[in-house]
Structure 1
């Protein structure tokens, strides 16, 4: 059973759409000691600021672990499959957590980040919809 939402995944056609131009960043940072961090922090574990940024959208990752939430907050799809993924970059690794585009995944699967303009329905819940903009990335298995 697959609940893949192809309408949410953005495939590149070689030209950038307005939505692609306004995408959230998926940026890791590199520190002077070579370690990577995501999300970015102003100081690394050695107390020094980052020396470089890395666009994780340009890389694939491996699923380290995953879970399926069946009781989700208002506006979040149900079931909501989440995974911790690991990006390998220049002999270093950095992990991220996020939604997955399908329920059929396995530890060790390769995934790529795909931009989604709405990770949750902004009209659900009691807050003003304009205050509930939740764009970001889901991880899509690479076939």
Structure 2
């Protein structure tokens, strides 16, 4: 699984990628890999009532990647995901960490056919 943001010819960046740019409607025909970038926590919350198969408690964070060094129109792009730790604060610097299972594939409504869904993804790990 990749952690890619989409970019249109006008330099607008969005995560996740879209067939068409949410800002101008042009096709997003380029991507930027965010998996090697660091981000800053914008806000976070801890859920104690999680869906079946998701760890409990589950700390989630919205993070902002500064991609100004890549010289696109949009210098920042935000993403939401699980944090690796409950010890996270607004302003913390995090890096994406790949995990094979964000949730237990044997639990929940898709447990009868777990191969039909990708269970991997990225969590935000405080640096």
Query: TM-score, length-normalised on structure 1?
Result: 0.78
Q: Distance in 1 between matches of 2:36 and 2:118?
A: 24
Aligned length: 119
Match of 1:60 in 2: 38
Q: Equivalent residue for 1:95?
A: 78
Give the corresponding residue for 1:110. 93
Cα deviation 1:75-101 (Å, max 9, x = unaligned): 100000000000010261110000000
Out of 99, 102, 121, the position equivalent to 1:136 is 121
Q: CA deviation at 1:68?
A: 0.2
What secondary structure does 2:35 align onto? helix
Query: How far is the alpha carbon of 1:131 from its aligned partner?
Result: 3.4
Alpha-carbon RMSD across the aligned residues, in angstroms, is 1.4
Is 1:77 matched up with 2:55? yes
So what's the TM-score if we normalise by structure 2? Answer: 0.87
Q: CA deviation at 1:107?
A: 0.1
Gaps of 5+ in 2: 69-73
